[in-house]
Amino acid sequence: MAKILDIKRRNSSFFGSSSKNKVLPHEYYVGGMEGEVLTYTAVDVSPEMLSVARNRLRESIPGLKQIMAKTRTEPYPSLSSPEEVIPVVAALDNRVQLLLGDAEYDLPKTQERYDTIIQSFGLCSVKDPKSLLVKMAKRVTPNTGRILLLEHGRGYFNLLNTWLDKYAPSHFAKYGCWWNRDIEGLVRQASEELGGRLEVVKVEKPWWHGGTTVVLELRVNDEGRKEQDKKEGEKKKE
């Protein structure tokens, strides 16, 4: 935040005090700037990845270097059951949390709803990617919240997809990743389970990757919720 304010101040002094560059009074307060991150919760099932994430958090988030040791001295914990969640980092009045847990079982309940849920290269490695998408959709703030996915899977060309299918089992055996999953298809399946409320806001598939890399921005439309609840109630009665 300090860097952003400094940039705006410099721009304001160089180019005049236009409303675009000028630091507005409310922007000095916590939560006053658009896009400001007030809390951050990360979860991973792998202690090894948590070690990498911890070090990057320390370098990236202002204030953590002063209160967090450069190297964690105690050993990283391990999960004894899927429902267990173990804090690895809880800093800045718990506004920054790094948790050991299984997101496929459930998302952390540190927040009832999240404004933004981000997942990168995860749908390729979980057992039930559609179920995970549904869980994320149920925990993101309806309408205004966003789910951001960076994934890889099937591409534009049949020849490429045939090659991915052929070597998918050996690739999974070595890396734990099914690189031939239909990511957009999984989103459609999850949306169907949610009564069509999971919507694609934006999709990007860089051509130089043959369409195998996909960036998706999703939102949950809450307007159809009542209709879905009604249908689910009728099914239970049957």
pLDDT of residue 233: 65
DSSP state at residue 211? T
Residue (of 41, 215, 221, 218) closest to 147 by Cα position: 218
Q: Are residues 116 and 97 in the same domain?
A: no
> Is the residue at 226 inside a domain?
yes
- Which tens digits make up the pLDDT trace of 42-58? 999 999 999 999 999 99
Per-residue pLDDT band at 174 (split at 50, 70, 90): very high
How far apart CA 97 and CA 40 sit, in angstroms, is: 6
6 domain residue, yes or no: no
Is the domain of 100 the same as that of 197? no
**26 has pLDDT over 90:** no
- Do 130 and 238 lie in a common domain? yes
Please report whether residue 28 resides in a domain. Answer: no
pLDDT at position 35: 73
Report yes or no: 208 and 125 within 8 Å, Cβ to Cβ.
no
Report the DSSP beta bridge partners of residue 198: 220
Q: Could you tell me the pLDDT band of residue 8, with boundaries at 50, 70 and 90? A: low
Residue 9 has pLDDT above 80, yes or no: no
Residue 234, in any domain of the structure? yes
| In the predicted structure, residue 12 carries a pLDDT above the cut 60 | no
Asked if residue 29 belongs to a domain, the reply is: no
User: Domain count of the chain?
Assistant: 2
If asked whether residues 116 and 221 sit together in one domain, one would say yes
- Please, are residues 8 and 21 in contact by the beta-carbon 8 Å criterion? yes
Residue 23 lies in a domain: no
Which strands form 116-120's sheet, in the order they lie side by side? Answer: 116-120, 146-152, 213-220, 198-204
Q: Is residue 24 part of a domain?
A: no
* Listed residues 104, 137, 155: the one ending a domain: 104
Choice between 126 and 7, residue whose per-residue pLDDT is larger: 126
Whether 222 and 189 share a structural domain: yes
C-alpha span between 229 and 137 (Å, rounded): 15
Judged against a pLDDT cut of 70, whether residue 21 lies above it is answered with no
Domain shared by 147 and 171, yes or no = yes
Co-location of 162 and 234 in the same domain? yes
90 and 162 co-located in one domain: no
* 214 domain residue, yes or no: yes
169 lies in the same domain as 186: yes
- Assess whether pLDDT exceeds 60 at residue 23: yes
Q: What is the pLDDT of residue 187?
A: 98
Parent domain of 58:
36-104
Q: What is the pLDDT of residues 96-128, one digit of tens each?
A: 999 999 999 999 888 889 999 999 999 999 999
Could you tell me what percent of the chain has a pLDDT over 90? Answer: 69
pTM: 0.82
96 and 125 fall within a common domain: no
Residue ending a domain, choose from 74, 104, 134? 104
- What average pLDDT does the structure give for the chain? 88
Residue 1 C-beta-side C-alpha neighbours within 13 Å: 14
pLDDT score recorded for residue 60: 87
Determine which of 31-35, 163-167, 192-196, 218-222 has the lowest per-residue pLDDT on average.
Answer: 31-35
